[in-house]
Amino acid sequence: MSEPSRPKPMFKVWLETDDGFVFGPGVYSLLRKVDETGTLKEAAESLDMSYRYAWGLVKKAEGTLGQPLLYTHKGGRAGGGGTELTEIGQQFIEEFSKIGRLFKMLSEDPEILDRVGDVNTHVAVVSEIEEHGDTV
């Protein structure tokens, strides 16, 4: 008889402010793809999202945050337009990625969980974001 598999903790990470949800894994993936492809259209297509849905996700996050996550520029007749992450957008995907790696380590290493103790919930609130500098 085989040994039963050991349950492991799972986490879903999202960022929010006092005004509400900013973004979670979906917007994070979209911003990463925009960074890779240089366009919101290609990023949305690669994630099987409509452009309209992707645009709505970004606009909702920007509205809650009060700052743009993307910068769009037009290219003229020869093309060349595209979309880039703003500095804040870049900071958010970097911080979100760090948080994701931390939780992955916690879920994969039982010894880390033993050192943490019985705490099973962590709540973090972004209290301030500096445009030029470190994020919270």
Please tell me the predicted confidence (pLDDT) of residue 136.
Answer: 45
Pick the CATH number of 17-116 from 1.10.10.10, 1.20.1050.10, 3.40.50.2300, 3.30.43.10: 1.10.10.10
Q: How far is 101 from 9, CA to CA, in rounded Å?
A: 14
Please tell me the predicted confidence (pLDDT) of residue 122.
Answer: 59
Written as six digits, the tokens of 22 are 């900013």
For the chain, what is the largest distance between any 2 Cα atoms, rounded to a whole number of angstroms? Answer: 69
pLDDT tens for the chain, 136 residues long, are 678 887 777 778 888 888 878 888 999 999 999 999 999 999 999 999 999 999 999 999 999 888 999 999 887 666 677 899 999 999 999 989 998 888 888 777 767 766 665 555 556 666 666 666 554 4
Rounded to the nearest 5 degrees, what angle is found at the Cα of 88, between the Cα atoms of 87 and 91? 90
Q: Where are the domains of the chain?
A: 17-116
Q: How far is 125 from 80, CA to CA, in rounded Å?
A: 38
Please tell me the predicted confidence (pLDDT) of residue 69.
Answer: 96
- 29: enclosing H helix or E strand: helix 25-37
